[in-house]
Structure 1
Amino acid sequence: MDGTVHAWRIEVREYERHEQRRGRRFAFTRFEPARTALVVIDMVPFFVSGNPYCRGIVPNISRIADALRAAGATVAWVLPGARPCTPVDDEFHGPEAADRYRASGGTGPLAGRLWPDFAVGPEDLLVEKFAASAFFPGRCALPALLNERGVDTVLITGTVTNVCCESSARDASTLGLRVIMVADANAARCDRDHNATLHTIYRSFGDVRPTADVLAMIEA
């Protein structure tokens, strides 16, 4: 099946709310590539193969990754880690579903677990996360690795928009990072779920920009 792109939107009233507060639509009008990281969440076959919205964002993620590498930025690929299921996992998901999610990241070298259309650069980061969020303390090496590189801005992409991507964006903001969620480089199961997260992030945690805007910011 071909990829599908979300019909994403931010309501005009939300744009107007921030324009009245801070005098501009977007909080972050520029970023320094050397201090910026593209964070790609959970783009593995378990999630991508069955969701046309996930396949639809692959080209945009790749375009951003290529442009950022050329500008000297960091690209970080975050995969689900196989943490042991807890009784709460079994109770919430059911034992069979809990086991499927536990194994969702696959096995073997991390680069080989990604959706095969992606190309991993030699300086890219590859990490596992053991929680929904890639920025939850103690559950992923990513925050420390980005700190070592002096990163202060993260571009959140991947899947699922309203679960691991939203969780990561919220926690990154809590840690004091500048957060930009790329509207057409995240994927959920439906437009409603996707747009609910974009609304929440733009309202309270960071900016929401399309790929074209991000590429223009890199070139600037």
Structure 2
Amino acid sequence: MPFPGLMPSLSTVAPKTPEAEAFLERLIAVKDEHYRGGRFQLQFSVHATDPALRGKIVPVPVWSLEEIAAYGKRFFRRGDRKLTLNFALPEGERLDAGELRRVFDPELFLIKVTPVNPTYSAGKTGSAYVWDNPPAGLTEDSLALEKAGFTVILSPSAPEEIEAETSCGQLWASRLKKRAAGARKSAGSGKIIPFNWERSALLVTDMQEFFLDPCSPAYMPQAKSALANAGRLTEAFRRAGRPVLFTAHAHEDPAADGGLMTLWWRNVCLAGTPQARVSPQLAPLEGEVLMKCRYSAFTNPELRERLKALGVDSLVVAGLKTNLCVESTARAAFDLGFRCIAAGDAMAARTAELHASALASMADGFAMVRTTDEVLAALRSPAVVS
């Protein structure tokens, strides 16, 4: 039973997954049973009416505006609080009052407009847009929405909250910054051994659409920045005339080549599908991609043979996922006699904890952890980093 006076508040982007949809349907019954009479607040973080812009702000499959509107009709009961449609718009973007009135019933929904706080994601994309007084355009849009019958709330940033990093989304950003600093400090305490840049190669593991496509069951939105840094490394190694190799993890026949992978993971990547290809953003050249169906890239014996034939004895490793294929590959490389640098910001894991733990593990036993900028500086002037 609910506590007296408790009013739960839930905010969601309405992810288009079976689990999320089942949860939201169950939420209707929970609200009706325990929190009648306006004692529950539900907010949809819509952020934009334009599908393309919304896809950039929320890079995961989500309900359409029409699906949210239909759910609102099922959710709302007489006496309930209106459902909130929240818009945190990038600078210069406007609200489409006509589209909102076309899709949503102002008797069921209200509109809330907030700044784009300097969160973790906004920091990576440079999209933070903080205001304490609503921009003129948003004020005009809110008046148009009010004329259309909507209740509109303009919720500015509180400077003291921004400074204290306690506004919406900032607590997580602050936590991640502290965790990353701790992981970097821990990783930096590892051993340093000579690294032969003249005999080095770049190996990018599994930076493929299986993890980068928002429609994939294995999608990792946190891999975007890792992909960008892997691209910088790829371009730099090509300019330096050093070898670049990629791996792609995929199964020809999971029943035959899946092994324990298919027991551990519900969804595996199938060879020959669009999700099996290395990201076009990295533009792999013919012959640079090696296939594998286990964590370590060295389970494909061709990798070791290629590196030896190229005269490589030092590897910079990057890719996905930090704690699985990258870490397994770096450990195997060390055992086979290859010196390793792990480009920590050119890889990603499912969670920040797993990423940080894997970097610390590599630094402790078999790889020097560096940033992409540090690797690029050393590649240009090998004396900079040993």
Query: Where on the TM-score scale, by shorter chain, does this alignment land: which range?
Result: 0.7 to 0.9
Query: Which ranges of structure 2 fall in alignment gaps of 5 or more residues?
Result: 1-55, 60-120, 125-175, 214-218, 382-386
Per-residue CA shift, 1:120-143, capped at 9, x if unaligned?
A: 246x6211012110013xx34211
Aligned to 2:233: 64
Distance 1:132 1:140, change over 3 A: farther
Partner SS state of residue 332, structure 2: helix
Match of residue 77, structure 1, among 243, 246, 264: 246
Letter in 2 for 1:57: A
Specify whether residues 90 and 180 from structure 1 end up closer, same or farther in structure 2 by C-alpha distance, changes over 3 A only: closer
Out of 167, 184, 187, the residue aligned to residue 345 of structure 2 is 184
SS in 1 for 2:235: helix
Q: CA deviation at 1:36?
A: 1.0
Tell me, yes or no, if the aligned pair for 1:27 and 1:206 is still in contact at 8 Å: no
Which position in structure 2 is the counterpart of 1:142? 303
Q: Aligned equivalents of 2:221 and 2:304: distance in 1? A: 30
Unaligned runs of 5+ in 1: 19-24
The equivalent position to 1:118 in structure 2, one of 271, 274, 282, is 282
Counterpart in the other structure of 1:48:
212
Deviating above 2 A after TM superposition, structure 1's stretches of 4 or more consecutive aligned residues are 1-16, 25-28, 30-33, 83-93, 105-108
Corresponding residue of 2:326? 165
1:27 CA drift (Å): 2.5
Q: Which residue of 1 aligns with 2:268?
A: 101
**In structure 1, distance between residues paired with 2:259 and 2:187:** 41
Map of 2:196 onto structure 1? 31
Letter in 2 for 1:175: L
1:129 aligns with 2:292: yes
**For the Cα contact (< 8 Å) 2:187–2:359, is it kept in 1?**
no
Q: Cα distance 1:151–1:101, how it changes in 2: closer, same or farther (>3 A)?
A: same
CA 106–212 in structure 1, closer or farther in 2 if over 3 Å, else same: same
Aligned-partner SS, 1:101: coil
Any conservation in 2 of the 1:129–1:140 contact (CA below 8 Å)?
Answer: no
Residues in 2 aligned to 1:13 and 1:77: alpha-carbon distance in whole angstroms: 28
Structure showing greater radius of gyration is 2
Higher RCO (CA 8 Å, separation ≥ 6 residues): 1
Cα deviation digits, residues 94-153 of structure 1 (max 9, x gap): xxx2xx3141x5438x9x81222222246x6211012110013xx342111111101001
Counterpart of 2:172 in structure 1 is none
1:21 match: none
1:51 Cα shift? 1.2
**CA distance in 1: counterparts of 2:288 and 2:222, whole angstroms:** 24
TM-score (norm 1): 0.79
Aligned partners of 2:262 and 2:268 also within 8 Å: no
- Matched letter for residue 375 of structure 2: V
> Residues 261 and 294 of structure 2 are in contact (CA less than 8 Å); yes or no, is this contact kept in structure 1?
no
Matched, 1:203 2:364: yes
Q: Which amino acid aligns with 1:51?
A: M
Q: CA deviation at 1:162?
A: 0.5
d(CA) in 2 for partners of 1:74 and 1:88?
32
2:205–2:246 Cα contact (<8 Å) kept: yes
Query: Any idea what SS the aligned residue of 2:297 has?
Result: coil
Q: Does structure 2 retain, via aligned residues, the 8 Å contact 1:127–1:140? A: no
SS at the partner of 1:117?
helix
Distance 1:38-1:163 versus aligned 2 partners, 3 A rule: same
- What secondary structure does 1:194 align onto? helix
Aligned mates of 2:187, 2:348 — CA distance in 1? 21
Determine the C-alpha separation between the residues in 1 that align with 2:347 and 2:187: 20
When residues 92 and 114 of structure 1 are mapped into structure 2, their CA distance, relative to the original with a 3 A threshold, is closer
Q: Match of 1:186, SS?
A: strand
Give, as a single letter, the amino acid of the residue that structure 2 aligns with 1:117.
Q
- My pick for the range that moved more, 181-190 or 83-92, is 83-92
- Counterparts of 1:168 and 1:87, CA distance in 2: 18
